[in-house]
Amino acid sequence: MLRSLTPFALAALVAVMPASADQAEILDPAIRAQALALMESGLKDDVGLEFTESLTTEIGPRLAGSDAEWRARQWAMIKLKDLNFQQAYIEDFNLPYWERVTETASVVGTNPQKLIVTALGGSKATPKGGLEAEIVRFTSLADLQAAPMDSLMGKIAFIDERMVRSQDGSGYGAAVAKRGGCAEVAAAIGAVACLIRSVGTDDHRMPHTGGMKRDGASGALPAAALSPPDADQLARLLERGPVTVNLNIQVKTSASAASGNVIAEVEGSSLKDEIVLIGCHLDSWDLGTGAIDDAAGCGIVVAAANLIQQLPLKPKRTIRVVLYGSEEVGLFGGRAYAEAHADELGQHVMAAESDFGAGRIWRLTTGMGEGARDYAKAMQAVVAPLGIIPGDNSSTGGSDISVLGAAGVPILSPDQDGTDYFDLHHTPDDTFDKIDPAAFRQNVAAYAALTYMAAQTDWDFRKAAAPESEDQ
């Protein structure tokens, strides 16, 4: 796989890479040439980096439903208009609100010491001053689920399960299950609180936050994540005997808070009613400045659309950029968009979302009709000089666009390298300095080319597989 390409190297490579006969029949040579030109431009473009730097610096953390998220929407509208997007608007919606106020934990008794924790999104508050209870350790959520009824009466459940590092982030699903399930399961068998080893792959003393419930509702118990070293420390203490912990979590909640999706468009020409959607989420958790999750994604898709809108001729189809609100606490923006645009979902011909940091895109997977796979393969061949390998056709769309995928919208998934993503994810260390500019520009180049190829064709990406011929 090609890991790094300068614009010059890319130009030299594509010059000696003619399309195969099959690809030439599927992908119009003019579309291919323009896509390659967009790739070259993307590798030199700093609009996305500047967008990301500005968002993380001028707005900072953008907790869903907060004043900061509101300011981010206003900021985004100004930026999009400065970039000459003629169609830019906000679609408002509401959601339940949760905000951390206090989060402390400490071992009391024989070996007193402070533990570094962060409250999980939706955590209930402890009594004022906290609660004290004995710790019971479990190796997994399944281990907790197998505990006898009432066996945790008056105690704190502690799930000490590590996350497996992987390029595609596949270790996240198993690890995050404990974040969503610990409080509810522990409450059912009598626990008064829940602690988890934070969902991440680092060994830093910075715990990873994250929501417990995908509907924004409050969890069943006070719940917090321990930093990895503190989870190790607690486990070692438990090897020496019973451990009692004081846990103090105070929160602020509201039944309803304002949020919204920011939308910009590059209007199409001959097929302007058909929509290619590229998205990200504008909100973040409150610990870091939300650079990799997901200011970078917003910078990438805005920059890609901006390159296309600067072309002399409009693409056939409309490109719609959606900066979703309140993703982190339950995909509220994704669901709100799908509801608001229910009547036109059949006109959404493709959707893609950048929400996995800013690492290099290493693979292109799809989720479209089998009869459209030939065009997908042609698209994969175009971005191959960026070091992107073909993936399969099993993508259902990540994050907010999963709602669209479930409704039948074809999906394009440029898969970023997530090997280090969960070192930073939902921590105070998610800051702008962690972004690699070269990798970021490779993302812009790929998104610009792929979006253009989807928007400039009349190819039906929902197309079913061609029927097999029958012997007569």
Q: Mind giving me the DSSP string for 131-185? A: EEEEEEEESSHHHHHTSPTTTTTT-EEEE--PPPP-TT-THHHHHHHHHHHHHHH
Q: Comparing C-alpha atoms, which of 92, 100, 49, 87 is closest to residue 73?
A: 92
Span 443-452, pLDDT tens digits: 999 999 999 9
Place of tokens 């309140």: 326
pLDDT at 398: 85
- For the chain, report the end-to-end CA distance as a whole number of angstroms: 47
What value does the mean pLDDT take over residues 255-268? 98
Token output for 63: 């907790």
Token output for 141: 């959520």
Strand pairing report for 87-108 and 113-115: antiparallel
pLDDT at 463: 85
Q: Comparing C-alpha atoms, which of 456, 431, 365 is closest to residue 30?
A: 456
pLDDT at 15: 46
pLDDT at 226: 98
pLDDT score of 22 more than 80? no
Span 149-196, pLDDT tens digits: 999 999 999 999 999 999 999 999 989 999 999 999 999 999 999 999
pLDDT at 24: 52
Rounded CA gap, 196 and 160, in Å?
A: 6
Span 391-425, pLDDT tens digits: 999 999 989 999 999 999 999 999 999 999 999 99
Q: Are 238 and 155 in contact (CB under 8 A)?
A: no
Backbone φ and ψ for 404, nearest 5 degrees, come out as -70, -45
Span 324-333, pLDDT tens digits: 999 999 999 9
Domains of the chain plus CATH, in order, are 7-86+267-455 (3.40.630.10), 98-254 (3.50.30.30)
Rounded CA gap, 298 and 76, in Å?
A: 10
pLDDT at 6: 58
Q: Comparing C-alpha atoms, which of 397, 391, 382, 399 is closest to residue 445?
A: 382
